[in-house]
Amino acid sequence: MKYVDEFRDGAKARILVREIESLVATMGVPDDRPLHIMEVCGGHTHSIFRYGIEGMLPKEIELVHGPGCPVCVLPIGRVDDCVSIAERPEVIFTTFGDAMRVPGSKKSLLQAKADGADVRMVYSPMDALTVARNNPERDVVFFGLGFETTMPSTALTILQAEGDGIRNFSVFCNHITIVPTIKAILDSPDLKLDGFLGPGHVSMVIGAAPYEFVANFYRKPMVIAGFEPLDILQSIWMVLQQIKEGRADIENQYARIVPDDGNAPALRAISRVYELREFFEWRGLGSIDHSGVKLRDNYASFDAERKFAVPNVKIADPEACQCGEVLKGVIKPWQCKVFGSACTPEMPLGALMVSSEGACAAHYQYGGVKQHVAAE
């Protein structure tokens, strides 16, 4: 595939790995305290496992897989709300595929579908709007999910529905925002991170400026990274270079996609349709102030939360779950008490085992449980 294969070139990868090795060799990294670099975004986690990048890096570097998988961090209570909307007889509930498996307290959307709810997988919110157009007698709900990456497409769909006068369409809004979440991680007292790979697709929308506080206030280097394996290796090299030089800057490795100022029309759509919530609940991380958005009052008629009076119950994460510690890099996935035993991709207990972008599921599927069991 042109424009993709170039970024997966094994020969170039070997050169970059050698560069990383020789850079690290000059840094005097102690054996018992490797450098912890967090990739914030689940897309990065997926690439890292898919291409076996961790195994190519010198032992002085440990990657910490961050909270950037929107499917994983969805709390149990919100899934229950989804199920309660989906089970209403008048509703067609539309969702991205990988959200269907997220466990609620009683069932996932996949189980609700098996029990008779009309749950349909779509590939974009515009597809959901088409379902609404084609089924005027039903109430079509789209499960709005994701960071700033998917926020604009949901917003534009709502604007389109408004323009076309479609009344039987609404959004169950669970969009979340990345900046307060990075801040919450940085404020954590048990923080062990030395640098960040910044999210690529989110930054394509919001640009590089919103991360300035990471460098200025917390003095941590961040490199906004692309998703191909060469992007990731180069970004790791750039983070290391900053650490070596004692710098903390926001650098943009993914400049071919990410403009420094973001995408103005997308940002306009976001601010027109959404406003910040006081707080939003995250699986594994708890409640984080201003980390979620809801629809503004002008768009109340498209807000499934208001249309269907969802129960909005809060349900605590299972106690055995150590997702929060994994997310913050305090422990590795396989060090969690329930990893691979009570918590598996078939029966996920914690958020990170849910989607293939979750750190635990990725470890389990791609590199995971067998290796660590064998190593013990």
Partner 1 sequence: MTIAPFIRTRLLGRVNVRTVTLAHGGGGKAMKDLIDDVFVGAFDNAALAPLEDQARFDLAELAAHGDRLAFTTDSFVVDPLFFPGGDIGKLAVCGTVNDLAVGGAKPLYLSCAAIIEEGVTIDLLRQVAGSMAKTAKEAGVKIVTGDTKVVGKGACDKLFLTTTGIGVIREGVVLGAHLARPGDVVMVNGLLGDHGAAILIARGDMALETPIESDCAPLQRLIDSLLTAAPGIRFLRDATRGGLATVLNEVADASQVAIEIEEAAIPIREEVKAFCEILGLDPLYLANEGKIVIIAPSEEAEAALTAMRAHPLGARAGVIGRVSAGEPGWVTMRTVFGGRRIVDMLVGEQLPRIC
x/- contact string, 270-299, with partner 1 (CB under 8 A)? Answer: ------------------------------
Select the span of 170-178, 186-194, 244-252, 362-370 touching partner 1 (CB under 8 A): 362-370
Nearer to partner 1, 8 or 133 (CB): 8
Q: Any contact of residue 50 with partner 1 (CB under 8 A)?
A: yes
x/- contact string, 136-165, with partner 1 (CB under 8 A)? Answer: ---------xxx-xx---------------
- How far, rounded to the nearest angstrom, does the alpha carbon of residue 81 sit from its chain's CA centroid? 20
**Residues 325, 188 contacting (CB under 8 angstroms):** no
Select the span of 23-31, 169-177, 299-307, 368-376 touching partner 1 (CB under 8 A): 368-376
Nearer to partner 1, 317 or 357 (CB): 357
**Class of residue 350 by CB neighbours under 10 A (exposed 0-12, middle 13-18, buried 19+):** buried
Measured CA distances, 24 to 60, 194, 241 (Å): 7, 14, 9
* Binds partner 1 by CB under 8 A, chosen from 82, 349, 355, 360: 355
| Distance (Å, whole) CA 49 – CA 363 | 7
Nearer to partner 1, 1 or 137 (CB): 1
**For 265, which DSSP code?**
H
Shortest distance in whole angstroms from residue 365 CB to partner 1: 5
| Distance (Å, whole) CA 334 – CA 340 | 8
Query: What are the residues whose beta carbons fall under 8 Å from the beta carbon of 169, sequence distance 6 or more?
Result: 128, 129, 132, 140, 141, 142, 161, 302
Select the span of 93-101, 168-176, 207-215, 265-273 touching partner 1 (CB under 8 A): 93-101
| Distance (Å, whole) CA 271 – CA 303 | 16
DSSP-assigned beta bridge partners for residue 282: 286
Would you tell me how many other CB atoms lie within 10 Å of the CB of residue 248? 17
Shortest distance in whole angstroms from residue 188 CB to partner 1: 25
3-state secondary structure of 188: coil
Query: CA-CA-CA-CA torsion for 245, 206, 68, 190, nearest 10 degrees?
Result: 50
Token couple for 6: 């170039």
Q: Any contact of residue 55 with partner 1 (CB under 8 A)?
A: yes
Shortest distance in whole angstroms from residue 346 CB to partner 1: 5
329-348 residues in contact with partner 1 (CB under 8 A) are 344-346
**If you search the block for the tokens 């900046």, which residue do you land on?**
179
* Binds partner 1 by CB under 8 A, chosen from 213, 218, 279, 366: 366
Nearer to partner 1, 287 or 344 (CB): 344
189-228 residues in contact with partner 1 (CB under 8 A) are 201
Nearer to partner 1, 186 or 342 (CB): 342
Q: Any contact of residue 375 with partner 1 (CB under 8 A)?
A: no
Select the span of 29-37, 157-165, 243-251, 364-372 touching partner 1 (CB under 8 A): 364-372
| Distance (Å, whole) CA 103 – CA 110 | 9
| Distance (Å, whole) CA 243 – CA 131 | 51
Q: Any contact of residue 311 with partner 1 (CB under 8 A)?
A: no
Task: Using alpha carbons, select from 42, 49, 39, 51 the residue that is nearest to residue 13.
Answer: 51
The backbone torsions φ and ψ at residue 362, rounded to the nearest 5 degrees and listed phi first, read -65, -45
Q: Any contact of residue 229 with partner 1 (CB under 8 A)?
A: yes
Q: Any contact of residue 101 with partner 1 (CB under 8 A)?
A: yes
**For 219, which DSSP code?**
-
Q: Any contact of residue 266 with partner 1 (CB under 8 A)?
A: no
Nearer to partner 1, 104 or 221 (CB): 104
Sites of contact with partner 1 (CB under 8 A): 1, 4, 8-10, 13-14, 17, 43, 46, 49-56, 70-71, 96-101, 110, 121-123, 127, 145-147, 149-150, 201, 229-230, 344-346, 355-357, 364-368, 370-371, 374
